[in-house]
Amino acid sequence: MGSEQFSTDNPLYPINLRDGQKVWGFYRYTNELVNGKIVWTWEPSELSKQITKPRLDQLVKDRKYAVVTQHLGKGSNGFPFTQEGIQSLRLLKSYDDEGKILVARTSRLLDYARSSKYVKYTVAEIEGKTYIDIISINDPLEGASVPSLDEIRGLTFHVENPESAFLLLNDNLIDQEDIQRNSADKSREKSIGVTWFKPDYTDYTKS
């Protein structure tokens, strides 16, 4: 669903299809409202209107999601970006580099939103160690299922001592290379989580 709303608490919402099935839809920012009229901002020339410092600062403060719609390359016979648009992209990257905002593929963001909301897990304390076992994703539309490792990337759990905590997926220890232990955040809580996807710098125009 497109709207003038830049951010949301949860990007997912259920859709009822005509055949009775239910699927997930997601909210996305597509336009501005000017004097009650829709002004589309999903062209590359409008990037600087979409991505602004006040919006990014508010996103960080509110700790919300934002799905920004763009038709990259549309309506241009040459280089599609303006200098202002390039600066907006560089600004967004700086927030990502500083760990303030996670820039991700839409599919990965939606997987994370679903998993973080519907994850089922158990916690066991054994001989001074904490074991968190991720059992399933209890999706109210698609049913419960054991997730793949990629489906739970980014999930984070607050623990008293990350160094003596371990994550499992359906009773199987998750490899240490896929674990991230975090020192205290702004809420003064330490945590352990599943690492996010590694950066992909492949130039797919040359493949």
Specify burial of residue 181 (Cβ count, 10 A radius: 0-12, 13-18, 19+). middle
Task: Please tell me the predicted confidence (pLDDT) of residue 10.
Answer: 95
Return the structure tokens found at 54. Answer: 């006040």
CB 187 within 8 Å of CB 179? no
For the entire predicted model, the pTM comes to 0.88
Task: Please tell me the predicted confidence (pLDDT) of residue 76.
Answer: 60
Task: Please tell me the predicted confidence (pLDDT) of residue 158.
Answer: 94
Task: Please tell me the predicted confidence (pLDDT) of residue 32.
Answer: 87
Specify burial of residue 85 (Cβ count, 10 A radius: 0-12, 13-18, 19+). buried
Q: What is the pLDDT along the chain (207 residues), one digit of tens a residue?
A: 888 899 999 999 999 999 999 999 999 999 888 888 998 899 888 999 999 999 999 999 999 999 999 988 766 667 788 899 999 999 999 999 999 999 999 999 999 999 999 999 999 999 999 999 999 999 999 999 999 999 999 999 999 999 999 999 999 999 999 999 998 877 778 999 999 999 888 887 786
Task: Please tell me the predicted confidence (pLDDT) of residue 140.
Answer: 95
Task: Please tell me the predicted confidence (pLDDT) of residue 35.
Answer: 82
Q: Report how far residue 60's alpha carbon sits from residue 129's, in angstroms, rounded to the nearest whole number.
A: 33
